[in-house]
Structure 1
Amino acid sequence: MSAGRDRNDLRVRVATSLKSVPAEAWDACANPPATSVPSPARLESGCEAADSLSQQDTDNPFVSHAFLRALEESGCIGGRSGWSPAYLLVEDGDDRLLAAAPSFVKGHSQGEYVFDHAWADAYERAGGHYYPKLQVAAPFTPATGPRLLAADGPRAGEARAGLIAGLEALRDQTRSSSIHVTFAQEPDLGALLEAGYLERHDLQFHWGNDGFTTYDDFLATLASRKRKALKRERREALSAGITVEVLSGASLTEAVWDDFFAFYQDTGSRKWGRPYLNRRFFSLVGQALGERIVLVMARRAGRYIAGAINFRGANTLYGRNWGCIEDHPFLHFELCYHQAIDYAIAHGLARVEAGAQGEHKIARGYRPVITRSAHHLADPGLRRAVSSYLVTEREHIAAAREALAAESPFRRDGHSDEA
């Protein structure tokens, strides 16, 4: 399947599976050498300061060959999932991989966390066909990261442009209505906007490490009343004789995955009706990325009762899924947010990204951060309508971020006070 003509000596093609793409070549595109990253914890006010939390992680796990292959091999993508892999590859005249995109032909809008259902409904009611569409994303993962994966080198910009041209060719070949690049970061976003894509904003809540050496150091930056509330919350979360274990690598046994998957299913069934990830995925990703998984498990009366899974990048801990089989006050906050902060401090990580939604994270020291996506709509009428809508939506997102930032539990005077 061809996605486009050569750009000089560059060839753009499509792979329907990563089986045919060497892991080393893909990962060299997915995580090139780091660019300068601003300090993530010096957040005061304004969009630029907040967005420093979303700068590039130098080793993003969710676009790695191993993560995507685990999704493929487990059947979470491909088959009847509605996520049909159509990975774009840009190669030079010597067949060296210069750039790639985790792109998918989709027949629905599930598992994306950037919601376009209203766009689809309006277009269908107007007589158009919104599906299929092209999605460039880490499936089921609302984490900002690279999307136009370009290996470091003098041709990175040219190869990235090849991906953008390839997406448009693939859209035409598949008769897709649109292209959606979600949770994008620079320089991908800038290249897409220059190519005429529309920019969309949303909010997440991230925690920044200001050089803390202990959790108490972090608590000292909070107002006294907020600090006392979090101390009490953490005590009460474990008051029923609950202990916490943090598991990685060889500790991620099949028995552990059995327990965690039961928790995940329970939460997924209550929230969405059908969890996106299956049991085999956790075995496969544990084998492939076990040292980069941080699984926080709660034990009571001799058995695990709850758990939260995180993935570790070079400087970021990404919170992903949580579940439980017993309800205990504040246990969700302890496993998902407080333990993540503990881990980030202990391992010198710059930030914690706690996933989509959740204004309750603010009281636990997480700050509102703007996330971005880019969208290309083929139909001029749909494009005009969405473009107008996005102007207003971005204004609302900016206002919401400002209002939420005002609810921060952090001290205003910059000085410590007594506990």
Structure 2
Amino acid sequence: MASTANPMPRPGAGAPSAFEEATYRKVAWRLSPLLLICYVVAYLDRVNVGFAKLQMAADLQLSDAVYGFGAGIFFFGYFIFEIPSNVILHRVGARVWIARIMISWGIISALTMFVTTPTMFYVMRFLLGAAEAGFFPGIILYLTYWFPARRRGRMTTLFMTAIALSGLIGGPISGWIMKAFDGVHGWHGWQWLLLLEGIPSVIVGLVVLAKLDDRIAKAKWLTTEERELLERNIAADNVSKEDPSIGKILSSPKVWLMSLIYFSFVMGLYGVSFWLPTIIKSMGVSDPLQVGLLSAIPYGVAVIGMLYAARSADRTGERRWHIAIPAFIGAIGLVLSVVWSSNTMLAMIGLTLATMGILTTLPLFWSLPTAFLAGTGAAAGIAMINSLGNLAGFLSPYLVGWLKQVTSSTASGMYMLAGFLVLGALLALSVPARMVNR
């Protein structure tokens, strides 16, 4: 066996052996495609309301402020149930819990097609957030079970390219569904959109139940030598990490700093995600399919930026500037999208820069808290950071909608989001390099 002919070095003892590299490639190819698909359908269910709004707002008489509140109230449900959901996942296993999350949110997302009033819209968005709580931090935690810090940046980024892919694929598909199915069987296009994009979540949830392995020890597709290598690397990676109680996590200054950094970045993410179709429409593009096709461009470019930055961060071991620079680029892009708003092509360049910067920042951010948290402390800490950060998912679309309604322009909202991205970048640079670089 390769394990005896070529002794495997301890983590950090030198260059990884060919056996180690082959083992991690095997794990990546086994886990990444399924996790990526999970997040694509998850994110699509979360933000397809941005496309539904193009028709739903008129059908249900929703103002921009009402839509922004409804889009954002998702994150109240998310916030309330996030920490308990992630702790349950850590205790019962990722396979059953992630499957439960996906199946329940797919059903709720599809049932949203039947809302007829703003109140019903609010209730369904809240329930969708409650159903999805724990999914994203659960996957971030799950990756710490399999990959040491020096490999996790690229894996987290690969997983989070699903955000960009859902925009790249979902934009044109959403636009096509709304145009092609509008009026079929008496249903509006936005109703068909919510139904047809909710079904895949249920299907993928059943696949997770059948195929996902909770831990290294349960992976029968690995040899004994491969399992020993992976578990040894994880054990070595966890030596310097903290595993504090949940009470200490809730009062930790480091965790609160991470929450504030993430909050700032998420402000930018959902400001763009929920309002990109509306921003493009305000440029004079009225056809839903054309809106969908144009919205795919920023996400397509973002995939390239995300993968390049992750590779660079893992190669150098530097984290803070790899997070801050894309955030600055995102802020500049948002400002340029306003300055160039009278020219569709130039405005799209600005939005593309903004989307690339924001989406590149987010996965690399998670290399910060996972550098010092482990065990149940990691489960609670990651969930707390994600839940507090995702409160921006409520505040961001609501403020953008309110500012748009007050000023009759999206400009002030984009400036606000740019300011938060700059704040997040500066806070990331304030984190001691010795704590996160490796």
Q: TM-score, normalised by structure 1?
A: 0.27
By percentage of residues, which structure has more strand? 1
Greater relative CO, 1 or 2 (CA 8 Å, sep 6+): 2
Q: TM-score, normalised by structure 2?
A: 0.26
By percentage of residues, which structure has more helix? 2
